[in-house]
Structure 1
């Protein structure tokens, strides 16, 4: 497949760019291990010689290796026998090796954690939520004497509800492996606001769940809150609801509400289930969630190595690069989308030869705007939102926004072999 040769078309002139700083609340926990150790003991009593499954997901959670190791070590010190279970549904291509690879990319291996990792995809049905909707749980987790999970609480990318991504989602979909994820996704995102808490509570009731170590992050991808949530509190839902609202208030966002082109340097499964977080970009793939900035076209330049070729979410963009396209593992991406039943995120947009051409193509297809007048916002990814690039036509708007600081003078982008040098 060949990409467009822009030399065959009229010159596309890009505007100048300048760097700005977006200002968000910066509260964070400085000593993660100390914080956990100071509070965990009441939750891990009477566990001597008990096998405890520690569920860890597939997202790029801040400090997840430190947090997991601290939980594992604390359990061992109380005489328990912990082991790690990937709680990530169908991710990693729905294979044992694939899920172990994802954990390893976060520094979670048997060697680094000092315990075994049981990544078996075997599941067990623990009942039906309703006729025709079986509830699956990882056999390796349910066979343990106790289960602990380490979820991050945040808004979901495809639906709105009292609880979204977090404790109940990890219990219902994460620990359900591919079969559990497939079972729930078969009902569509329109029912997730009911199914996620309903099935999550059912799993909590029917298993030896001990507690969840729930995490909330600030806009800088830093751990700012750690909460122990007991089994009863999980079933009650109120604590998770409050943590979700706090996460929603703290999360990063693009503080420019309207522009023409969004450029995203990278997407990835370690960043969001959809590669990029639509709560930040507004690039939703379902009709059950909304919000975010308004713009006309989107460019995505690359895929993170931690995604292992899963470019799920690439379909929300208009232009991507050859570099990104060549990294796609279509089997892994299709497994993810096939399980979720939403194929739109896997659709491949126009492919440009390089980053320079990709941006120019997006500018060209913005109708009614002179190339050099295009308002462009350029972010690294949806977890790194403090320092971003914007084009000169946005200068006056930035100057009037007290939450934005200008860091550089506007200047022309320089490219080396099609890749930008000014980022």
Structure 2
């Protein structure tokens, strides 16, 4: 295995991006007229995802609120993330630089909720108490394909209203309906939150394949249902993908909640990990090896169950309580199951190769940084012929050893 080399491959995706985040957002906000009195309190709902330029977006929003003579505060709009504790959810925001000192507004973190009228819905409707008591709420979220289901509304403003603003209690309530609940209960629940919870604006963010901000759209709540599906389709077009569909061993350097809600994006790897729900037809990956867990995930290793092998490095970082709470809340326990634990990177690769019935010399091996960063990846010689003339793919002459002499992966350059 020591003699095997991987080749650096670069993918070109649509490069739409916003150069000046603050100016772009502030121009849109300045066109907004909200009927709020001087001194009104405004909650800014911020989620647990590692959205590009999140700190800038939140800072600009807070600045605009202050300029209107209102009083902003931040709430963590999360279900079971951050270990489903106020302290843990505050820590998630702080990891992204969302602190009172950085953004100019206090963070009010609580799991206490108010029950709102359900008006005939099958599920109860809850809303963060601090947000409910505010004079207005502004919701910030990235709009992208969801990791559990597909439809007109997936990850975005409506889901943030329904589950993020509803906190852990709402997440439990929605997830008890399984995937059907996610598909069918999010929109009517969000409507109740908007109707009774004084949601004034949504800031929808779409990212390109390089995880750069491509679109920022300020929407009034009455525009959510018309505009969000358009933004979702735009996000789908910009989404990256692996350049090949048949892989023997996929090496993923890192996974975590700041990369995907499931740690590694099922839309990329083709595995969904939900009982009764079929995996995607492609890509077909025999073995997936996870070699590290991001610091931003704070020990939450949800998604490891989608892999076949993890390293001891990953295992030692796992906060099982946080991971299991997230999995049980969602109802998708398979995603938190523990894969085989390899002591070293080379042992993990060896397990994957043996499971795929391949040798290091003839295996189709692909190595990526994470499921968000697919602009650069390394592939084995068995994959190269398929990529030589593929549009949007450049095969470089840069080579990297599969493993180093000590059995570890070389740095992802």
Q: Which is further off, 40-49 or 337-346?
A: 40-49
SS of structure 2 residue aligned to 1:43? coil
Query: Which residue matches 1:100?
Result: 90
- Give the distance between the partners of 2:389 and 2:411, measured in 1 at CA: 24
Does the 8 Å contact 1:44/1:78 carry over to 2? no
Cα RMSD (Å): 1.6
Query: Which residue matches 1:405?
Result: 394
Query: Which residue matches 2:229?
Result: 241
Aligned partner of 1:59 among 27, 40, 49: 49
Cα deviation, residue 408, structure 1: 2.5
1:356 paired to 2:366? no
1:208 paired to 2:198? yes
Query: Which residue matches 1:336?
Result: 326
- Give the distance between the partners of 2:221 and 2:193, measured in 1 at CA: 10
- Give the distance between the partners of 1:289 and 1:42, measured in 2 at CA: 44
Query: Which residue matches 2:384?
Result: 395
Cα deviation, residue 191, structure 1: 3.2
- Give the distance between the partners of 2:15 and 2:400, measured in 1 at CA: 30
Query: Which residue matches 2:257?
Result: 269
Task: Give TM-score scaled by structure 1 length.
Answer: 0.93
Query: Which residue matches 1:297?
Result: 287
- Give the distance between the partners of 2:280 and 2:76, measured in 1 at CA: 30
Report the CA distance shift for 1:148/1:416 in structure 2 as closer, same or farther (over 3 A). Answer: farther
Query: Which residue matches 2:28?
Result: 39
Instruction: Summarize deviations over 1:319-378 as a string: whole Å, max 9, x none.
Output: 1000000000000101101111111111001000111211121011113x3441000111
Query: Which residue matches 1:5?
Result: none
- Give the distance between the partners of 1:86 and 1:289, measured in 2 at CA: 32
Task: Give TM-score scaled by structure 2 length.
Answer: 0.96
Unaligned segments of structure 2, at least 5 residues: none
Aligned partner of 1:114 among 95, 98, 104: 104
Report the CA distance shift for 1:394/1:288 in structure 2 as closer, same or farther (over 3 A). Answer: closer
Report the CA distance shift for 1:289/1:197 in structure 2 as closer, same or farther (over 3 A). Answer: farther
- Give the distance between the partners of 1:383 and 1:129, measured in 2 at CA: 39
Report the CA distance shift for 1:251/1:291 in structure 2 as closer, same or farther (over 3 A). Answer: farther
Query: Map of 1:3-402 to 2, 5 A cutoff?
Result: 15-47=4-36, 48-128=38-118, 130=120, 133-234=123-224, 237-286=225-274, 287=277, 290=280, 292-367=282-357, 369-402=358-391
Does the 8 Å contact 1:260/1:297 carry over to 2? yes
- Give the distance between the partners of 2:278 and 2:99, measured in 1 at CA: 37
Instruction: Summarize deviations over 1:376-422 as a string: whole Å, max 9, x none.
Output: 11110011111101111111111021221112355533425332225
- Give the distance between the partners of 1:291 and 1:157, measured in 2 at CA: 15
SS of structure 2 residue aligned to 1:253? coil
Does the 8 Å contact 2:2/2:401 carry over to 1? no
SS of structure 2 residue aligned to 1:242? helix
Report the CA distance shift for 1:165/1:129 in structure 2 as closer, same or farther (over 3 A). Answer: farther
Cα deviation, residue 105, structure 1: 0.7
Report the CA distance shift for 1:259/1:178 in structure 2 as closer, same or farther (over 3 A). Answer: same
Instruction: Summarize deviations over 1:92-137 as a string: whole Å, max 9, x none.
Output: 0111110011001100011111111001110011022646511111
Does the 8 Å contact 2:116/2:192 carry over to 1? no
SS of structure 1 residue aligned to 2:25? helix
Instruction: Summarize deviations over 1:253-293 as a string: whole Å, max 9, x none.
Output: 11212221111111000000100111111121121773641
Report the CA distance shift for 1:176/1:278 in structure 2 as closer, same or farther (over 3 A). Answer: same
Does the 8 Å contact 2:400/2:410 carry over to 1? no
Q: Which is further off, 328-337 or 128-137?
A: 128-137
Unaligned segments of structure 1, at least 5 residues: 1-11
Cα deviation, residue 15, structure 1: 3.9
